[in-house]
């Protein structure tokens, strides 16, 4: 007769704390496109973001932050700048001024994206159910970003802490991502962050 394993199987689920989830629909999100080989552009842009300037990412997966501001490397000539709500115009003006006469494009995409914040002991396990990336801290450390998918939704993701992630989700995918989160958190549950 096999041993009773019900108590050992239930233990991991009971040990998981609820996933803390917060949708931030009001952040300023600006897309910047420019020449990645222009070192003077990156230097000028570094002074345009944040109160004391924020290093402009020039390599894949870089995602510098100063707290309220974040610059996400999205491609060789493509970046997302995330800032406090209502700062879109000032941010776009600062980026345009920094770029000067260099070839560039600055677009307010705030209405097209939402930032999803996930935190807690279950965050990595929940994301792993629908994301093909290795999210272990040695492979995906704090401050790293990547374009990926969460099930069928295309997202940009970065790690903000040992047990914390943020995802840039297209507004049209919000309902789908919420539904997939509900399905992935049956064991741990969801709590508002």
Region 176-188: what's the mean pLDDT? Answer: 96
The 3-state DSSP class for residue 100 equals coil
Torsion sign, CA atoms 91, 93, 97, 100: positive
Residue of 131, 142, 158 whose CA lies nearest to 72: 158
Predicted confidence at residue 176, as pLDDT, reads 98
Both tokens assigned to 125 = 């396990």
Residue ranges per structural domain of the chain: 18-24+112-192, 28-110
Q: Which CATH superfamily is domain 28-110 in?
A: Heterotetrameric sarcosine oxidase (3.30.70.1520)
Contacts of 11 (CB under 8 A, 6+ apart): none
Question: Using one digit for the tens of pLDDT, what is the confidence trace for 146-170?
Answer: 999 999 999 999 999 999 999 999 9
The pLDDT-based confidence of 181 (bands split at 50, 70, 90) is very high
Long-range pairs of 58-63 with CB within 8 A, sequence gap ≥ 24: 61/144, 61/145, 61/146, 62/143, 62/144, 62/145, 63/143, 63/144, 63/145, 63/158
Region 41-58: what's the mean pLDDT? Answer: 87
Predicted confidence at residue 16, as pLDDT, reads 55
Region 181-189: what's the mean pLDDT? Answer: 94
Predicted confidence at residue 19, as pLDDT, reads 96
- Angle of helix 39-46 versus helix 88-99 axis, rounded to 10: 150
CATH of 18-24+112-192, one of 3.90.1150.10, 3.30.70.600, 3.30.1360.120, 3.90.120.10: 3.30.1360.120
Region 28-54: what's the mean pLDDT? Answer: 90
Cross-strand bridge partners of residue 81: 30, 71
Question: Using one digit for the tens of pLDDT, what is the confidence trace for 55-89?
Answer: 999 889 999 999 899 999 999 999 999 999 999 99
DSSP 25-72: -S-EEEEEEE-TT-HHHHHHHHTTSSSS--PPP-STTB--B-SS-EEE
- Comparison of pLDDT for 38 and 7, the residue scoring more: 38
The pLDDT-based confidence of 13 (bands split at 50, 70, 90) is very low
Residue of 41, 156, 135, 161 whose CA lies nearest to 96: 41
Per-residue pLDDT at 10 exceeds 60: no
Predicted confidence at residue 5, as pLDDT, reads 35
55 exposed, middle or buried (CB, 10 Å; 0-12, 13-18, 19+)? middle
Rg (CA), the chain: 19
Both tokens assigned to 170 = 């297209």
The pLDDT-based confidence of 14 (bands split at 50, 70, 90) is very low
Question: Using one digit for the tens of pLDDT, what is the confidence trace for 101-138?
Answer: 999 999 999 999 999 999 999 999 999 999 999 999 99
């Amino acid at each position: 007769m096999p041993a009773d394993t019900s108590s050992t199987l239930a233990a991991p689920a009971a040990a998981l704390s609820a996933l803390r989830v917060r949708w931030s629909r009001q952040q300023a999100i600006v897309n910047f496109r420019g020449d990645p080989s222009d070192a003077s552009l990156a230097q000028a842009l570094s002074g345009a973001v944040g109160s004391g300037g924020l290093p402009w990412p020039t390599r894949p997966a870089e995602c510098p932050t100063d707290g309220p501001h974040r610059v996400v490397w999205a491609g060789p000539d493509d970046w997302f700048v995330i800032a406090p709500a209502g700062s879109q115009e000032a941010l776009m003006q600062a980026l345009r001024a920094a770029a000067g006469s260099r070839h560039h494009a600055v677009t307010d995409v705030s209405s097209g994206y939402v930032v999803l914040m996930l935190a807690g002991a279950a965050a990595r396990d929940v994301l792993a159910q629908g994301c093909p990336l290795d999210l272990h801290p040695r492979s995906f450390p704090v401050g790293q970003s990547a374009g990926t998918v969460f099930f069928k939704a295309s997202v940009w993701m970065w790690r903000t802490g040992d047990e914390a992630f943020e995802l840039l989700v297209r507004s049209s995918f919000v309902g789908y991502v919420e539904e997939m989160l509900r399905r992935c958190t049956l064991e741990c549950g969801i709590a508002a962050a």
